[in-house]
Structure 1
Amino acid sequence: MPHSTSDQAKLADEITRQLGHLTSTLVQLPAHQATQLIARVLDPMDGILSGFAHLVATGSRFAKNEAERGALPAEVWLALGRAANELNAIGVDLEEHADTLQRFSARPAATAAKPLVATPLVIRRRR
């Protein structure tokens, strides 16, 4: 049974509202709970980021088909394709830190093995 455009718009609005709520919650959580939430959001298989990247990639394929029919300008397809590629690259960059986030979030909050030491935040990487 096809879904109405109105239902899909309501779903998108609800997801947007929920993301706003999640963001508001994140800033109020203790460090280990915030890390758990971030780890879940960035989970490479089931996280919000990978779900959103998949949604944009699907939109890009749709836009390609529509551009080939002449219903959409090719620039729309190209922009969605670039966005999908960028989101994928971001996911790949963050995936290398997934284990660290999982380990940190699994630690009990009160049982830190050693005191925290501040770390300089300037790191240079070659791409």
Structure 2
Amino acid sequence: MSDPATYPVRLADEITRRLGQLADHLSQLAPPQAAQVIARVLDPDAGVLAGVTHLVATGSVFAKDQAEQGALPAEVWLALGRASNELYDISLDLDEHQDTLQRVAAQPAAATAKLPVPAPLVVRRRR
């Protein structure tokens, strides 16, 4: 009988590999298609970032239980909790740009052929 823990480990490895493939494809896509992929990845309800955030939050709950039993140092739980909170905050910051990404993704190819207007890349962040 195979170890039931190996499936989740293999699944994590496969997801990691597929994310690498997605990044490779993203770098080759035309702007509308790239924007569409990014919008899906960042979708706050069903995107990759939401999934990773949920996974880290679940890991934090696991680490808390293990830390309370003395199997893990409390620092592991605290670090996972912080990471979960930071990912959530990042997703909130990115969510405000979802409409823009979807608008770019919906542009016909002829509209994207026009030269874009350069924008300053120094922007003040609000937190």
| TM-score, scaled relative to structure 1 | 0.92
Report what 2:8 is aligned to: 8
Q: Which amino acid aligns with 2:42?
A: L
Identity of aligned residues (%): 63
Distance 1:6 1:125 in 2: 42
Report what 1:48 is aligned to: 48
2:63, 2:77 within 8 Å by CA — same for their partners in 1? yes
109-118 vs 93-102, which moves further: 109-118
Seen in structure 2, the aligned counterparts of structure 1 residues 79 and 33 have a Cα distance that, compared at 3 Å, is same
Report what 2:106 is aligned to: 106
Structure 1 runs of 4+ with >3 Å offset? 112-115
Distance 2:121 2:31 in 1: 18
Query: What is the alpha-carbon root mean square deviation over aligned residues?
Result: 1.6
2:57, 2:84 within 8 Å by CA — same for their partners in 1? yes
Residue pairs, 1:10-89, within 5 angstroms: 10-89=10-89
| TM-score, scaled relative to structure 2 | 0.92
Which residues of structure 2 form unaligned runs of 5+? none
Which residues of structure 1 form unaligned runs of 5+? none
Number of residue-to-residue matches in the alignment: 125
Distance 1:24 1:111 in 2: 25
Distance 1:31 1:114 in 2: 12
